[in-house]
Amino acid sequence: MSMFRSYLKAQAFHEGRAQPSATVRHVHLSHAPLVFVPLRMAGEAAAPLGAMVGCDRAAPTLLVVPQPRNRELRFAFATELAAVVLPYIERFAGETETVEAKTPYERCLDAPQILVPNPRGVAFSRLLGRSTRFRRTSGPYAVPPSVPAFGQWLTFLAERAEHAGSSMFLAMTDVLAAHWVTGQSGVEDGTLAALLAWIAPPAGSTGHEAAAESEDPTRTPPAGPDTDPEFDRKVLQPAIDAYDASGSPERVEEALRRHLQPTWDLMWRAVDLLRGLPEAAGVSGRWERDRTALAREVARLGENPTPQGRWDSPVAAARRLAALEIAQQTYEAARAFDDPLAMAEYRVEGAAFAGEVVAVEADRRIVPPGGKRAVPRPLVTVRTGDPVRLAPGTRVFSPARRTQRKAEIVSVAGDTVTIQINDGMGQGREPAPGSVPSLGEVVCYTDLDPGGGRTPPLPALSDTPWTHGGPPEPYVPTDEDAQESWS
What region does 242 belong to: left with phi over 0, alpha with psi -120 to 50, or beta? Answer: alpha
Asked whether residue 306 carries a pLDDT value surpassing 80, the answer given is: no
Looking at residue 95, its pLDDT comes to 87
Q: Which residues pair with 67 in a beta bridge?
A: none
Task: Specify the pTM.
Answer: 0.89
Looking at residue 193, its pLDDT comes to 93
Looking at residue 478, its pLDDT comes to 63
Asked whether residue 268 carries a pLDDT value surpassing 70, the answer given is: yes
Looking at residue 342, its pLDDT comes to 94
What is the arithmetic mean of pLDDT over 238-261?
A: 93
User: How many CB atoms within 10 Å of residue 82?
Assistant: 23
Alpha carbons 218 and 233: distance in angstroms, whole number: 13
What is the arithmetic mean of pLDDT over 209-235?
A: 84
Q: Where are the domains of the chain?
A: 3-310, 340-446
Alpha carbons 313 and 470: distance in angstroms, whole number: 10
Looking at residue 316, its pLDDT comes to 78
Element (H, E) at 70: none
Percentage of the chain exceeding pLDDT 70: 95
DSSP label at residue 16? T
CA 386, 392, 396, 401 torsion: positive or negative?
A: positive
Looking at residue 43, its pLDDT comes to 67
Alpha carbons 456 and 192: distance in angstroms, whole number: 39
Asked whether residue 380 carries a pLDDT value surpassing 70, the answer given is: yes
Asked whether residue 487 carries a pLDDT value surpassing 50, the answer given is: no
What is the arithmetic mean of pLDDT over 209-222?
A: 83
* Span 4-48, pLDDT tens digits: 999 999 999 999 999 999 999 999 999 999 999 999 877 665 678
CATH class of 340-446: mainly beta
Alpha carbons 458 and 469: distance in angstroms, whole number: 15
* Span 61-82, pLDDT tens digits: 999 999 988 888 988 999 999 9
- Contact, 26 vs 283, CB < 8 A? yes
* Span 124-156, pLDDT tens digits: 999 999 888 888 888 777 889 999 999 999 999
Asked whether residue 481 carries a pLDDT value surpassing 70, the answer given is: no
Band of the pLDDT at 428, cuts 50, 70, 90?
Answer: confident
Give the chain's end-to-end CA distance (angstroms, integer). 36
